[in-house]
Amino acid sequence: MSTKLLNYHKLKSKVAPNKQVIILHGYGSNGKNILTIAEEIQNYIPNVDFIAPDAPNRFEGDNIDGYQWFSLINRDPISMLRGVTSATAVITNFMDNIVNPNLPLYIMGFSQGAMLAAHAAMRYKTHNVMGLIMCSGALIASHHLKNELSENARDCTIVITHGDNDNIVDYHLSEEAHNTFLDLGLNSKLIIERNIDHTVGHIAFDNILKILSL
């Protein structure tokens, strides 16, 4: 399926849905791949619709089936902010066209997708964001958030998960994100899972189930 901007994949709920999740893949992956975790979630919570867009840009690495939300060739703060800001405009437009206004909205992402999920969710104005799930990600340009935080995000429940053996994205970046959210008075929970690398561990998965069961 596709919109004018993004191709996307949808995993429909097994029963009548009572919430929807926009789930964003990582750097070099794609929407179909990230839906594997959605399938696992649906084994426990069958009443959730998942929508997984492919990022708009082909991956700059070797995976021919991969996409990226923004380039990571240059990772200086200005380039990262420019990249995530551009991707936020794209995913915001996508959500404006795809979100069901009658279902509570959750935004979830892994790795680069978590960076985008955080940036977009905290600034989204069209619909209330009930929950943000960040897995192995980071909050880019956190010092900007205070002046850009949407009122629709102030009641958002945030779950941040990361493995302490992650050698792709440092888990301290999730700690920094968590502290930024707390400083802004937001409801944030941080799970640093021991002996877990760049993936979603069992404890993280259990906490994802908890927030989607609310």
User: What CATH number is given to the structural domain containing 198?
Assistant: 3.40.50.1820
3-state SS, residue 23: strand
Residue 1, in any domain of the structure: no
pLDDT of residue 3 exceeding 70? no
Whole-angstrom distance, CA of residue 214 vs CA of residue 204: 16
Query: How far is the first Cα of the chain from the last one, in angstroms, to the nearest whole number?
Result: 29
Domain count, the chain: 1
Residue 58, in any domain of the structure: yes
How do residues 179-191 score in pLDDT, each as one tens digit? 999 999 999 999 9
3-state SS, residue 113: helix
Orientation of helix 112-121 relative to helix 77-98, angle to 10°: 70
Residue 55 DSSP class: P
The two counts, helices (H) then strands (E), for the chain are 6, 9
Looking at residue 4, its pLDDT comes to: 55
Per DSSP (E only), the strands in 98-145 are 105-110, 129-135
Residue 3, in any domain of the structure: no
pLDDT of residue 62 exceeding 70? yes
Q: Which domain holds residue 56?
A: 8-212
pLDDT band at 1 (very low <50, low <70, confident <90, very high): low
177 within 8 A of 186, measured Cβ to Cβ: no
Q: Is the pTM of this model over 0.85?
A: yes
Rounded alpha-carbon distances, angstroms, from residue 163 to 108, 170, 172, 213: 17, 9, 10, 23
Residue 196, in any domain of the structure: yes
Residues of the chain with pLDDT > 70, as a percent, come to 98
Phi, psi of 32 (to 5 degrees): -65, -40
In the block, tokens 């877990």 appear at 196
Structure token pair of residue 121: 């969710």
Residue 92, in any domain of the structure: yes
